[in-house]
Structure 1
Amino acid sequence: MKEAWRKSSYSQGENTACVEVAFAWRKSSYSGNENTACVEVAFTTPTVAVRDSKDPSGPHLTVAPSSWRGFLRSLN
Structure 2
Amino acid sequence: MHRYVLAHTRDGWCCDGFVEYIDDEVVCLAVPHCGSGDRAFFPGPFYPQLYPYPFFPRNRFYRQVFPLAALLGLSLLPFY
* Same fold (TM > 0.5): no
Structure with greater contact order relative to length (CA < 8 Å, sep ≥ 6): 2
Structure number with higher helix proportion: 1
